[in-house]
Chains A and B, each alone.
Chain A
Amino acid sequence: MKRQRNRLDVGARIDRSRRLRFHFNGKPYEGFAGDTLASALLANGVRVVARSFKYHRPRGIYSAGMEEPNALVQLGGGASSEPNLRATQVELFDGLEAASVNCWPSVNFDIWAFNDRVSGLLPAGFYYKTFMWPKSFWHSYEKVIRKGAGLGTAPEMPDHNIYEKRHQHCDVLVVGGGPAGISAALAAGRSGARVILADEQAELGGALLGNGERIEAASGVDWAMGARAELDGMDEVRVLSRTTAFGYYDHNYVLMVERVNDHLGAPPGTLRQRLWKIRARQVVLATGSIERPMVFADNDRPGVMLAGAARTYINRFGVKPGNRAVLYGNNDHIHQVALDLADAGVRVEAVVDVRAKAVGEAVAAVRERGIEVMAGHAVGGALGKKRLRGVEVLALNEKGDGFAGDIRRLRCDLLCLSGGWTPTVHLFSQSGGKLDYSENQACFLPGEARQAVSVAGAANGVFALKGCLGEGAAAGRSAAGKLGFREVGAPEALPVAQGEAGALMPVWRLPPVSKGERRFVDLHGDVTVSDIELAAREGYSANEHLKRYTSTGMGPDQGRTGNMHALGILADIRGESIPAVGTTTFRPPYTPVPYGVMAGRDVGVLADPVRMTAMHGWHERSGAVFDDVGQWKRPWYFPRTGEGMAAAVRRECIAARSGVAILDASTLGKIDIQGPDAAKFLNRVYTNSWNKLAVGRCRYGLMLGEDGMVMDDGVTSRLAENHYFMTTTSGGAARVMAWLEDWLQCEWPELKVYLTSVTEQWATLSISGPNARRLLSELAEGVDLEADAFPHMVVRSGKVAGIEARISRVSFTGELGYEVSVATSYGLALWQAFQRVGENYDLTPIGTEALHVLRAEKGYIAVGHDTDGSVTPGDLGMDWIVSKKKDFIGRRSLARADTMRTDRKHFVGLLPETRVPEGAQIVAEYKRRPPMKMIGHVTSCYDSAALGRPIALALIAGGRERIGETVTIPLTLQGRVVKAEITSPVFYDPKGERLNG
């Protein structure tokens, strides 16, 4: 293991007594507690950490935060492996294992790097232009391109980590724990308001952790630690570290992810991350800003990094990011960083400042140290390949938009850039706030807010420390004040050492120094100045088009460092101002969020509730195979040992037609309807009339939407003068309940009708077959079951197996049938009683599949199976159930020109040669190749035991007039073509003799 050769001996916020071992790309290294993976790699002198996305160029660590475009790593292996993490954000822990993404076989020898040498062939829009023709080849290109452009590997096994979600209300949510955010939280907290301060980093301080600035006599870091102690002492204040607010939604609803144990490698059994769902009365955004780079040839060489990052590696991590440095920029920050570098023992070659007049405290201090300040100069290009070897510096012309004079070469292995600052306005923009462009600061700033939110500090364009402290305190005080909280005691004044910084001079692009050079704007996506120029030439000069055509800002880093340059260059090309070109829309999430934390504990059996009937345990013990019907588990069929599905269903069907079968019908939707206007209400919601239904009788009803399309069906019984009992389809129960409530509450509040959902209160079984009456008579007491006394569509109360029950004589199979309903708690007892008595009748339990075969043989529709929201009663041949004498929901729509067409699709039967898949298309004239005219589709298809052949139900244009015709069902993907004859949908017992037996 190598020594940490770039580690400084003293200072910084790392614990040199706690050594942490880790592996990167298979090699062992050592770092210290407090390191990030990036700082530890730099300490170990690892220069090349990644390959770029398109050209596979060697890349080094570029930043010290979430804006990192280069150092994307895959962390860990197996199920908990996570791709595309930024090494600059990964806190080091003992045993960490990480690897570069997007390189093969290794970072130092990458096969795809040939892309870099043939880069003339890979301009903007290359994929669109080259691989979209011929279209049919795209799927074969895609595989190769995806491998070449692979960005990490998604884990393929279930994530075993533990996540949770938490809801929280607060008075003031402060996002960002830098000087402005801390000041805001202190001011709001001191007033007694309930405050949450959320910060992305491991400890509070923000920029103070890295820039070494002082507050009064204390170091900025000590001030932050003091503030943390004070905040921790306040009862109503909660500080959340390692927490990123990533989404800002309506009514001050903010989502945040807290990385609870990632910094320890999320040991098994511990909570890895927590999703916070915050509802805040006021929000203060103190989200800081991100430093911008400068753009020049080969500005991506390992050793080129943001000036603030270099400063952070020295002050926070005790790492020298290089030995010989050049600084290049357009503002005072490069001079401040030059001083820090010099203090840390780095040899500073020169500070290259595009401003012709570089003046001010920091500039003077640099000159005083004997460091050369090259004012009015620019870096034209970087030298070296896998590591920076030097830079080429040129003088700028008077206007500052071109070069004048000769190239001068400076040797260096570190080049620190500062092109100014881009305020982090993402959350503000997500909240609906407007952004205004500041010419002075060359950046977008928060403008008019749409929600209860204010912005403070660097996020608001206030970059100097003194301003951040003052503005943060004011924002916190004001937010709490609006809610009636007043700060106790006078706010303390916070004089600071740092003065105001000098103005910056925006330089978005300079002319190329030599032909064909690569000046990167978006390092992650390998988008160059030339790509943007090309896109603009080809007409993609709208900002949103440019983004998609070149992929600028579309990587995991979302172009945090390069977007402003892309915009500036585009504005320059178009000869317009930046605000005229506009900024792209910011959408959540601010940074990538793992799916696991969004799911929380709602995974596995908790992903969706499972509804089970009272008889479920019996079904399970009897070997039922289950079918999911909505959230219900329904027995699909009951195979006997060694029996396949087809044989089981066939046996179940034969039992229902020749003996007696029993079905668990508990999942039927059930609605109890009471009140003096109940009949009037049913008249309005069903197509048929309910005026003359006597007490003790049942009636089938069809329910339409107001558009005239079939919505649900079921049998409703009249139990007493003002008491009805409605059943709905199993899947439609909740929808029908909501629908009925809607009409009663919103349209007909004058009706005295009361609805109660009782689906779960009644367990229902249904028996059907020629022996159904004999079987039931052995268990029923006090009910005359004889056909004359208890005909079809009648309901009676009585006792069955000693249990209070409702018995309805109804049938969905076409056989003599009864439904017996009892209180759910007696459901299993009832079922078991039938099984005991049923032994003498060879009583056969059947599932939903047999039920479907039986009802299809009778041509009974299954709503949602044979209908799809575009089917009228007339289409189904069910005009007999549509009253002509009254109004009902949907009636007017049945009189529309379109619903009265005679060539609409009709519900018919089909006799196909072989079984065909449901949904299969039907054609009248078959052709060997498409297109063919489709005249309908198969809605149900089964092998019928009763008919000894496959049968189907279908919707076919003008189908009732085509009965007897032969149509074709082309099953292209299966390589077969099936012929079928159109018939009546009633295949079995068309006169209904069995039903009434």
Chain B
Amino acid sequence: MLRIECPHCGARDEAEFSCGGEAHIARPKEPDKLSDAEWADYLYMRTNPKGILAERWCHTFGCRRWFNIERDTVSHEILRVYAMGEPRRESGT
């Protein structure tokens, strides 16, 4: 079980959180202009890297705030916790 540093409440067990999957997937501004394939890409396709992944988490059984983390999918080490809306790091995937 991961131990996650909520930016608002501090470190808590993973059981208090929900994972929202990969972060930084913005909803297309004009969905009508996308092909079916492009829309499917937004809806379903995720990078699923072996290594550093930026993902969204929500402190569901705490403050109910969403935030981003960078997690190493091999070691499960959490390298960074940052606010929703903050950009990903240059070096990140």
Contacts and interface: CB of A to CB of B under 8 A. Distances in A.
A142 interface: no
B20 A432 contact: no
B75 A742 contact: no
Given A432-B75, A892-B34, A747 B39 contact: no
Candidate in A432, A451, A707, A745 with the most chain B CB atoms within 10 angstroms: A745
A892 B1 contact: no
B8 interface: no
Contacts of A891: 31
B80 interface: no
Contacts of A741: 58, 64, 66
Given A253-B3, A432-B75, A738-B60, A745 B84 contact: yes
Nearest to B33: A892
B58 A738 contact: yes
A887 B64 CA distance: 27
Candidate in B26, B28, B64 with the most chain A CB atoms within 10 angstroms: B64
Candidate in B2, B36, B85 with the most chain A CB atoms within 10 angstroms: B36
Contact of B56 (A706, A707, A746): A746
B72 to A, nearest CB: 10
A853 B74 CA distance: 53
Nearest to A891: B31
A966 interface: no
Contacts of A896: 36, 39
A251 B76 contact: yes
Interface in B57-84: 58, 60, 64-66, 75-76, 84
B1 A251 contact: yes
A896 B3 CA distance: 41
Contacts of B43: 706-707, 893
A253 B15 CA distance: 12
A11 interface: no
B90 interface: no
Contacts of B60: 738
Interface string A735-761: 000100110011101000000000000
A242 interface: no
A738 B26 CA distance: 18
Nearest to B76: A250
A433 to B, nearest CB: 11
Nearest to B27: A747
A897 interface: yes
Contacts of A707: 43
B85 A749 contact: yes
B18 interface: yes
Interface in A679-712: 706-707
B31 A746 contact: no
Contacts of A897: 36
Contacts of B64: 741
Contacts of B27: 706, 747
Nearest to A895: B32
Interface in A892-914: 892-893, 895-897
Candidate in A279, A746, A749 with the most chain B CB atoms within 10 angstroms: A746
Contacts of A251: 1-3, 76
Contacts of B75: 432, 450-451
Contact of B58 (A249, A742, A887): A742
Contacts of A249: 1
A249 B3 CA distance: 11
Candidate in B13, B18, B20, B31 with the most chain A CB atoms within 10 angstroms: B31
A892 B85 contact: no
B18 A745 contact: no
A738 B65 CA distance: 10
A250 B39 contact: no
Candidate in B34, B56, B66, B85 with the most chain A CB atoms within 10 angstroms: B66
A706 B34 CA distance: 14
Given A250-B1, A450-B75, A742 B36 contact: no
Nearest to B4: A251
A896 B13 CA distance: 41
Contacts of A895: 32
Interface in A92-111: none
Contacts of B31: 887, 891-892
Contact of B84 (A450, A451, A746, A893): A746
Contacts of B32: 887, 892, 895
Contacts of B36: 896-897
A887 B32 CA distance: 9
Interface string A817-841: 0000000000000000000000000
B18 to A, nearest CB: 7
Contacts of B3: 251, 253, 279
A253 B75 CA distance: 14
Given A738-B18, A741-B64, A893-B39, A749 B2 contact: no
A432 B76 CA distance: 10
Contacts of A746: 20, 56, 66, 84
A253 to B, nearest CB: 5
Contacts of B2: 250-251
Contacts of B13: 253, 279
Contacts of A451: 75
B33 to A, nearest CB: 10
A742 B66 contact: yes
Given A279-B3, A892-B32, A745 B39 contact: no
B20 A742 contact: yes
Candidate in B1, B28, B34 with the most chain A CB atoms within 10 angstroms: B1
Contacts of A745: 65-66, 84
Contacts of B76: 250-251
A897 B60 CA distance: 36
B3 to A, nearest CB: 4
Interface string A223-252: 000000000000000000000000001110
B90 to A, nearest CB: 22
A895 B56 CA distance: 28
Contacts of B1: 249-251, 253
Nearest to A432: B75
Contacts of B84: 745-746, 749
Contacts of A706: 27, 43
A253 B28 CA distance: 40
Contacts of A747: 26-27
Interface in B1-59: 1-3, 13, 18, 20, 26-28, 31-32, 34, 36, 39, 43, 56, 58
A747 B60 CA distance: 17
A279 B85 CA distance: 31
Nearest to B31: A892
Nearest to A451: B75
A9 to B, nearest CB: 52
B25 to A, nearest CB: 10
Contacts of A749: 84-85
A949 to B, nearest CB: 43
Contacts of A742: 20, 58, 66
A250 B34 CA distance: 40
A897 B39 CA distance: 12
Nearest to B65: A745
Interface of A: 249-251, 253, 279, 432, 450-451, 706-707, 738, 741-742, 745-747, 749, 887, 891-893, 895-897
Closest 9 interchain pairs by CB? A892-B31, A251-B3, A250-B76, A745-B66, A253-B1, A746-B66, A892-B39, A896-B36, A450-B75
16 contacts: A250-B1, A250-B2, A251-B1, A251-B3, A251-B76, A253-B13, A279-B3, A706-B27, A738-B60, A741-B58, A741-B66, A747-B27, A892-B31, A892-B32, A896-B36, A897-B36
Given A250-B2, A451-B75, A707-B43, 9 more contacts: A251-B1, A279-B13, A450-B75, A738-B60, A742-B20, A745-B66, A892-B31, A892-B32, A896-B36
Interface of B: 1-3, 13, 18, 20, 26-28, 31-32, 34, 36, 39, 43, 56, 58, 60, 64-66, 75-76, 84-85
